Structures are given as C-alpha cells and as structure tokens.
Structure 1
C-alpha cells in the first residue's frame, strides 16, 4: 500500500521530534560550550510543537506543501531564538518548492476531496533532492551565512550538494550519499572558528567544539532519511 505524501511528511516530523527529544541533553551540552546552553531544549520544543500542530490536521486531505507551511508556523511560534526563523524559512522554502510539484487541484481548497480521492504517492527521489536544496537555501538566505562559518550550514550545504550529485539514484542511495556528507560537515566544525551567532564572540575559544546547530542538523537529516528513504512503508 502506498503512503499519502502528507502522511509520510507527518511521520518524518514525528521522527525528527523524537530524535530531538532523545538528543536534547547532548545538544544542550554542546551548546553550553560555545553558546547559551539552550539549543537542545529549543529543538525539542520546536519539533514537539510541529507534531502537535500536524496532529490536529486531516492529512488525507492535505497537500505536502501545506505540511511544511504548518511546520514553519508552529516551529516559529514555539522557538523565539535565532533557530526559529532559520528553520521556519527553510520549511517555507520547502513548501514553495513542493507547490511546484503538486497537481494544480492540490493548491485549491475547494478541490480537497479530489485530492483525498487521489492520494499523492511518497515523495520521489527528485523531489526529495529539491526539498533538501530548498531547505539549505532557505537557511542560508535567512542567516546570511555560508559554509565555513561554523553553523548548521556546514551540515546543510554538504547535504544539499551530495543530494544533487546523487541525482538519478533511488531514495536509499540518495540518503547514503547525503548523510555522510552532513556528518563530515558537522565534524569539520570542530576545527573552525565561529564567524556567526553567539559563538562568534568567543573567537579562538570556539575551536575544538562541534557546532550544536550542525549537530542537530545531522540528527534532523538522519530522521528524514529513516522515513523518506523507505518508499514501501504505509503506516
């Protein structure tokens, strides 16, 4: 049985929320070394809010882009720190991209019943690649950052680049390329001096520490992979 795309994305956000809750203390410890020691709490609260918001929706009558729009609003409402606007922008860019992939009827509320009658299949590999690129671009746009600044972009940009390089592969192969790139990017932040965010105030003292935003980005991408790489699950 084929899973509806909106349900697939809702499961993805639930998996992200669970993973962030599990990693909350570790992420907070990382942030304590170079930041305000609240990143783990922030990420856990933000994605808990996203899953709560999606739980109130009729996913069978929802376009995939709407899932990301709801996620953007819920995350931003729950997270007042700088991470809130960054991921809200990422999710809105993802929604904008997904709207270009959806049938015209899925963008018209009056056509919702026909959408439910014609469930959208799980996101294709090409769509997943576009999704990653849109999210990375949204974070870079909002944060005015770049690779090497010792931020979450040091995981997101390599992930998006790896996805583009893996064009034409199946979903499982796509994520086998994406995750190592993101993980290596996050690990590389140990040897970087922070150029943005609160960690930038530390200067050379930020050396030797993994950026917590890059670490949480890897956790997020790992959770995405667990759901999106499997095109057979119908839960």
Structure 2
C-alpha cells in the first residue's frame, strides 16, 4: 500500500474545493431544472470556505484537513446541501486517525463513515436521486483499490461520474425535487454532480 504525503493531499483537497467553486454556474443550472436554483451558490460559498480553512492549517494531516473543511462548509454553505456535505467531510475526518497519511483503504473507510453519517442525518438511501448515488459506488470503487492513491482516486472519480449519470434515470424522492415526480427524470442530481466534480478534481490534483 502506497500512501500520499500530507502536503500533497492537502493541496489536492484545496484544488478539489476550488473546482466546485468554479462550477457554480453549472451547478446552478442543474438545480434550476429540478430544484430552487440555489445549489451552485451555496456550494460555491461553502467550498470557498472549505479551501480557506485548509489554507490556515500548518502541516495538517488528512484528518484535520477534512474536519476543518467540513466544519467550514457546514457553517457557510447553507441549506440542506451545506449540512449534508459538511457532515460528510467532517465525519470522514473524524474517522481517520489523527496522524495517518491517506492510502486507499484508510480513505475509503473514512469516506464510508462520512457517507453513513449523511444517511443517518438525511434518511436518504441509494436510488433516491441524491449525492449518495454518486458517493456510494465511488467509495466502493476506492475500497477495492490497492497501490498508489492517485490511481485509486481515478477509479473513485470514474465510479462517481457513472453514479451521477445514473441519477438522470431516477425519480427524485427527497428534497424540493420530490414535488416534480417523474418530471425530474432526464436531469442529473446537483448534489451528485458536486460530489463528482470534487472527486475528479481530487484525482487530478494527485496525478
């Protein structure tokens, strides 16, 4: 198992957060199709705070970075999405050993704990057309990887995108999109898009 040094992982997390910020308009348009159109604004604000929180940390490991970023996101992202994504990253950081350098196995276990915290908080499950539909297959793919973390995160990102694309064929059963019923078909879930953008940028940052 090959680990990634903490400096490289922190920089990749910042780059991933900034990728979500840069995707504000894309996420806004996606949310306008099935929601109230504020997802992109909230996520841009929250992930900007995520990146800023990490910039203030000196020589911090993965656990501290995820906790700090998650807490900042939860405080600033607003709405249900801010709470959900903030919960995911905070719980993921809590699940990592404080001084552990990330490897695929440890990171997959941490993200699995984060996802479970999201499920416990929102009572959603796979198939409900939420970020879970991207996160669950992504984390499963990461857990199957061995070797270098960059390649493992590439597999995670690919699985996240497949999961996100699959939400186009799902009827929303939670949140504001639930009121649309079958009219939500054909549109990807904005939360799943956000998770995918983050994963893809994280993988790019560690290449």
Q: TM-score, structure 1 length as denominator?
A: 0.79
1:101-134 C-alpha deviation (Å, 9 max, x unpaired): x45xxxxxxxxxxxxxxxx7x5223222223323
| Cα distance, 1:130–1:56 mapped onto 2, change above 3 Å | same
Q: Where in structure 2 are there 5+ consecutive unaligned residues?
A: none
Classify the secondary structure of the residue corresponding to 1:25. Answer: helix
Q: Give the Å deviation of 1:198.
A: 0.7
Q: TM-score, structure 2 length as denominator?
A: 0.89
Bigger CA radius of gyration:
1
- Do structure 1's residue 32 and structure 2's residue 32 form an aligned pair? yes
| Cα distance, 1:177–1:9 mapped onto 2, change above 3 Å | closer
| Cα distance, 1:81–1:211 mapped onto 2, change above 3 Å | same
Give the Cα separation in 1 of the matches to 2:122 and 2:52: 27
Q: Where in structure 1 are there 5+ consecutive unaligned residues?
A: 104-119, 231-235
Give the Cα separation in 2 of the matches to 1:81 and 1:169: 38
Classify the secondary structure of the residue corresponding to 1:150. Answer: coil
1:174 maps to 152
1:172-213 C-alpha deviation (Å, 9 max, x unpaired): 332232222111111111111001111001111111111111
Structure 1 residues 144-153 or 80-89, which shifts more?
Answer: 80-89
Alignment of 1:178-217 (within 5 A): 178-217=156-195
Give the counterpart of 1:91 among 89, 92, 116. Answer: 89
Number of aligned residue pairs: give it.
205
Q: Give the Å deviation of 1:138.
A: 2.5
